[in-house]
């Protein structure tokens, strides 16, 4: 493991939810603990090398997060192993993470449950194929949750 605290967001195609969450998290953490973290994302069914959707890129601009250079990547056990904190966007993503690598259970959370370790609960809806307004709502929902979690995440980064 590197000295950097690595946070990973996992969704399906790694072109909407997880890149938006990655961008939002970077914006929040740059203000709190610059240089101490790395934020990545991946998808359980992602092809490699695709950009974030145009609407995801637009929605991320709400917080001045630039995800225009994003390149999708598939979820791998190597990425899981290198991550210190893993957020699954839905219960099915959570289950896929543990199917791939059981020993990351102690650092994997359903996005809307953090810091509760339960995999039971509500997932974050996928905006793929919908209007920009839906992407904006999804991005703001991501931001709302990350804002609630920020102090706990910063504490974990500082404690590494």
pLDDT of amino acid 3: 81
> Looking at the annotation, which residues are catalytic?
11, 17, 126
DSSP 3-state of 157: helix
Q: What is the dihedral of CA 120, 146, 80, 51, to 10 degrees?
A: 110
Instruction: Give me the sign of the Cα torsion angle 113, 118, 122, 123.
Output: positive
Instruction: Please give the Cα distance from 75 to 72 (Å, whole number).
Output: 10
**Number of domains the chain is built from:** 1
Q: What's this model's pTM, rounded to 2 decimal places?
A: 0.97
pLDDT of amino acid 1: 44
Instruction: Please give the Cα distance from 52 to 145 (Å, whole number).
Output: 21
Report, as an integer, the average pLDDT of 44-62.
98
pLDDT of amino acid 2: 57
Taking the mean position of all CA atoms in its chain, how far away is CA 25?
A: 8
What value does the mean pLDDT of the chain take?
Answer: 97
DSSP 3-state of 109: strand
Q: Which domain holds residue 45?
A: 5-159
pLDDT of amino acid 63: 97
Here the CATH number for the domain that contains residue 13 is: 3.40.50.2300
pLDDT tens digits, 63-121: 999 999 999 999 999 999 999 999 999 999 999 999 999 999 999 999 999 999 999 99
């Amino acid at each position: 493991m590197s000295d950097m605290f690595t946070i990973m967001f996992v969704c399906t195609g790694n072109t909407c939810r997880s890149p938006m969450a990655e961008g939002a998290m970077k914006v929040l953490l740059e203000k709190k603990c610059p240089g101490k973290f790395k934020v990545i994302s991946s998808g359980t069914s992602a092809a490699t090398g695709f950009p974030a959707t145009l609407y995801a890129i637009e929605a991320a601009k709400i917080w001045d997060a630039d995800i225009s250079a994003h390149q999708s990547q598939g979820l791998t056990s190597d990425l899981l192993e290198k991550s210190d904190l893993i957020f699954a966007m839905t219960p099915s993503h959570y289950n896929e993470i543990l199917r791939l690598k059981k020993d990351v259970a102690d650092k994997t959370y359903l996005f809307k449950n953090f810091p509760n370790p339960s995999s039971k609960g509500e997932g974050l809806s996928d905006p793929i194929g919908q209007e920009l307004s839906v992407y904006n709502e999804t991005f703001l929902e991501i931001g709302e949750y990350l804002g609630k979690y920020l102090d706990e995440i910063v504490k974990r980064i500082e404690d590494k």
